[in-house]
Structure 1
Amino acid sequence: MDVHIFDQQNDLSISVLQVEKLVIECLKLEGVECDEVSIQFVDTQMICDLHHRFFNDPTVTDCISFPIDQDGDTGYRVLGEVFVCPKTGIDYAQEHLKNPYEEISLYIIHGLLHLMGYDDIGEDEPRMREAEKRHLAHLSASGLLLKETTCTS
């Protein structure tokens, strides 16, 4: 599986290797197989632009997911793209005395769960929150939540 990671922001140093391991483990925990998935770390302006363009809401948000191949009937399955705004995670973490890397880990998990068919609106929200908790606990126990590092590879 190819995990494409693009870092287009300067707010937080992100380890590509850590992100790749987190993504692979998250998909494995759900039993989801695909050939390709993308994670893009973007700045506040970019996440606001995407939020406005695709959801008619110009406000900042934590992550946005775009599923691509839900059924993979072409033989090659591109799960989709997740756009994450680390600055949103930094701000939230500071306000709530949390670790920004764990918050960004949650955003990646949340976005991936959307790509795998979970929803956080209406009656589906409890299922999404339970899956997030399960993934956070598993990744924490496995030492795979994102951590501060001096190396971005």
Structure 2
Amino acid sequence: MECFINNQQDSYPLGEEMISLLEKVLQVAAAVEGLDQETEVGLTLVDDAAIRELNRAYRGIDAPTDVLSFALNETGPGEPVCLDPRGDRLLGDIIVSVPTATRQAQDYGHSPARELAFLTVHGFLHLLGYDHDTEEAAARMEARQEEILARVGLGR
């Protein structure tokens, strides 16, 4: 799978090791889900102001959040279907707020690396249609998240 990772925030320095970890998490998630090598996904790391603006524009919620996912294979009323003539599978984009992830890591008592990886996996699974709108769906999504994180040494 091809991963495009773009760090657009500078409040929290993220070294190559962290970027490599996030790419590894996405690669493992793709393998667990059985996605082919032609799959593409984007991960953008932002600050709270940027994610707040996106949350307001796309969800009508005027507050920062931890992660947003924009799936290209989902359409709403009046939206065109996005098809790539080359046959590539463009999943979409994941946006993660690094400051929020850092605060949440402290609140949950684990490392920022685990929280950033968790949010990346969470967003990735949303791109594939996973959700947590029912107890059953939430349990399925949580189990898959934990399986992926355990495979990269970040299990609970």
TM-score by length of 2: 0.82
Matched ranges for 1:103-142 at <5 A: 103-123=115-135, 124-140=137-153
Structure-1 separation of matches of 2:15 and 2:50: 17
Of all paired residues, the percent bearing the same amino acid is 30
Q: Separation in 2 of the partners of 1:92 and 1:18?
A: 18
Q: CA RMSD in A?
A: 1.9
Match of 1:63 in 2: 67
| 1:86 counterpart (91, 98, 104) | 98
Secondary structure of the structure 1 residue equivalent to 2:152: helix
Task: Give the structure 2 partner of residue 149 of structure 1.
Answer: none
SS in structure 2 of the partner of residue 38 of structure 1: strand
Task: Point out the more displaced range, 126-135 or 100-109.
Answer: 126-135
Residue type at the aligned position of 2:93: E
SS of the residue aligned with 2:110? coil
Is the CA contact 1:32–1:116 (under 8 Å) kept in the aligned structure 2?
Answer: no
| Letter paired with 2:91 | L
In structure 2, runs of 5+ residues without a counterpart are 75-81
Answer yes or no: is 1:39 the counterpart of 2:43: yes
CA positional deviation for 1:96: 2.6
Amino acid in structure 2 at the alignment position of 1:111: G
Letter aligned with residue 18 of structure 1: L
Q: Distance in 2 between matches of 1:14 and 1:30?
A: 28
> Any idea what SS the aligned residue of 2:93 has?
strand
State the partner residue of 1:5: 5
Alpha carbons of structure 1 residues 137 and 91: separation in structure 2 relative to 1, 3 Å: same
Q: Cα 1:56–1:112, aligned 2, differ >3 Å: closer, same or farther?
A: same
2:26 paired residue among 23, 26, 48: 23
